[in-house]
Amino acid sequence: MFAPAGATVRAWRPDVPGLAEVFHARFTHHAYPAHTHTAWTLLIVDDGAIRFDLDRHHHGAAGSAVTLLPPHVPHDGRAATPAGFGKRVLYLDPEVLGPDLIGAAVDHPTFADRQLRLRVHQLHLALERPGDALEAESRLTLIAARIAALLSPAAGPPRPRPSGLAGRLRELLDANVTDGVTLRAATAELHAHPTHLVRSFTAAFGLPPHRYLTGRRVELARRLLLAGQRPADVATAAGFYDQAHLTRQFRRYLGVSPGRYARA
């Protein structure tokens, strides 16, 4: 654990199916820019409080509540108190909960459920103990079932996957996270006017295309760093111009440098 400029962070990828990453952090001043994940974000706040926007709606996370942020939906985050906040986060693979619950999670991202809060806390404890993989898997299964039961009454029809021009551009960006896509190339391939393409994407996903791509690259960089790759190699592998470019964007999104994140 380390403390640059008022922040402490720990991150690792556990050997537990369904869990992409465990992330423990305490921030005083860091504010997350709007971004998306390909994973479900399940978090609990241990002290302080967080304000966040999800799909352009204001929310908060604190105390005994559990917060769930669905994949592919833009959100940000910042401290709601002067002393900052401490949080523990689990990034769940998309299939752990399934796409049919995304709409309900957008409408109801916070659960005031003591049993769920306790189970998430117990899972974090199990993940910190070597040799407790079976316990962690079992607890994750119970957590997923509890969340599904809480969200199902409000699920309604599945949230539609954006289609048309915006959806095709996202597919193009997802297929070229490392190499990137120029706006000229995208407009030529999708047969669209540049202004209309950018506006359509931003209206559909809440982020302009360049910020979406940067978020995907930071997400890829996190995975590569936790797999043991050096920041200099990660910069190129994740599509950044050089290590300085990676460091600048990584700090903006996570409040710490790639090297310190990997050592955490």
CATH of the domain at 82: 2.60.120.10
pLDDT digits (tens, 9 = 90+) for 166-225: 999 999 999 999 999 999 999 999 999 999 999 999 999 999 999 999 999 999 999 999
User: Are 85 and 215 part of one and the same domain?
Assistant: no
User: Are 174 and 106 part of one and the same domain?
Assistant: no
pLDDT of 4 strictly over 70: no
Based on its alpha-carbon atoms, the radius of gyration of the chain, rounded to whole angstroms, reads 18
Question: Which of 3-17, 129-143, 229-243 ranks highest by mean pLDDT?
Answer: 229-243
Domain count across the chain: 2
Contact 9, 83 (CB under 8 A): no
Contact 48, 24 (CB under 8 A): no
User: Are 10 and 76 part of one and the same domain?
Assistant: yes
User: Are 202 and 108 part of one and the same domain?
Assistant: no
How many CB atoms within 10 Å of residue 223?
A: 15
User: What local confidence, expressed as pLDDT, does residue 155 receive?
Assistant: 53
Rounded mean pLDDT of 32-57?
A: 94
Rounded mean pLDDT of 42-61?
A: 93
All residues at 6 or more sequence positions from 188 whose CB lies less than 8 Å from its CB, including other chains: none
- Residue burial 87-121, b: 16+ Cβ < 10 Å; e: rest: bbbbbbebebbeeebbbbbbeebbbebeebbebbe
Q: Which residues form the domain of 207? A: 164-263
Question: For residue 259, what is the domain's CATH number?
Answer: 1.10.10.60
Quote the CA–CA distance of 67 and 32 in Å, as a whole number.
16
User: Are 137 and 224 part of one and the same domain?
Assistant: no
Contact 40, 94 (CB under 8 A): yes
What does the mean pLDDT of the chain come to?
A: 91
Q: How many helices (H) and strands (E) does the chain have?
A: 10, 9
pLDDT digits (tens, 9 = 90+) for 94-121: 999 999 999 999 999 999 999 999 999 9
Tokens standing for residue 126: 């199990």
Of the ranges 118-122, 157-161, 251-255, which one carries the lowest mean pLDDT score? 157-161
Q: Which of residues 115, 132, 155 is at a domain's end?
A: 155
Rounded mean pLDDT of 4-24?
A: 88
User: What local confidence, expressed as pLDDT, does residue 3 receive?
Assistant: 39
User: Are 55 and 135 part of one and the same domain?
Assistant: yes
Quote the CA–CA distance of 80 and 144 in Å, as a whole number.
28
User: Is the pTM higher than 0.85?
Assistant: yes
User: Are 60 and 168 part of one and the same domain?
Assistant: no
The one-letter amino acid at 225: L
User: Are 35 and 139 part of one and the same domain?
Assistant: yes
Quote the CA–CA distance of 144 and 93 in Å, as a whole number.
11
Tokens standing for residue 188: 């030529």
Q: Which of residues 155, 182, 201 is at a domain's end?
A: 155
Which residue in 47, 43, 40, 7 sits closest to 25, CA to CA?
A: 7
User: Are 208 and 92 part of one and the same domain?
Assistant: no
Tokens standing for residue 94: 């998309």
Q: Which of residues 101, 120, 155 is at a domain's end?
A: 155
User: Are 139 and 84 part of one and the same domain?
Assistant: yes
User: Are 92 and 190 part of one and the same domain?
Assistant: no
User: What local confidence, expressed as pLDDT, does residue 161 receive?
Assistant: 61
